[in-house]
Structure formats: structure tokens, C-alpha cells
Amino acid sequence: MKTYTLKIRSSEDEQFVVDILNALESKHLIDLLPTGYLGMKGDPVSEHELHESVFAAESTRSFSLEAAKKYLGL
């Protein structure tokens, strides 16, 4: 199992993203465990760890918005 940190870039898109996450959770594909908001204290990461996380996120497979909606039945 992997744990991911999710940053929603625009507050206007927050509900849409939450709806997608709830749909994934309802299909038992993920466990949704909100932990906090950007700006709250958390475990510090090194610059190297940050760059590794960004690289990993950028190199993972992704879906178009339309494909994700179709898959989730939204």
C-alpha cells in the first residue's frame, strides 16, 4: 500500500476533487483519510525528498479529466 499527499491547486476545484476521491472510496479502491491542510505543521522533508516526490508525481501514469469521469461514472 502507498500513501499519497494531495494538494488541490485551486479552491474552486476542491469539491470536484473530493467528489472524485469519494467515488474512488465508494468503489473500495482507496481509503480516504483527510489529515490536514497546507500550512499546518507536519513532518519536515529534505529538499532531496521534495524533489524525489515531485519527480515521482510527474512521471506517474495519469488520466484525462474526461477518462477519469467516465471511469468513475461521474
Query: Which sequence spans correspond to the domains of the chain?
Result: 11-72
Average pLDDT over residues 23-49: 76
* Confidence label for 24 from pLDDT (cuts 50, 70 and 90): very high
pTM above 0.85, yes or no: no
**Is the alpha carbon torsion for 54, 57, 60, 63 positive or negative?**
negative
Return the pLDDT at 37.
Answer: 54
Q: Give the three cell numbers for residue 45.
A: 522533508
H/E element, 32:
none
pLDDT, greater one: 33 or 8: 8
Position 64 scores a pLDDT of 81
Residue type at 47 in one-letter notation: E
pLDDT digits (tens, 9 = 90+) for 2-12: 788 888 888 88
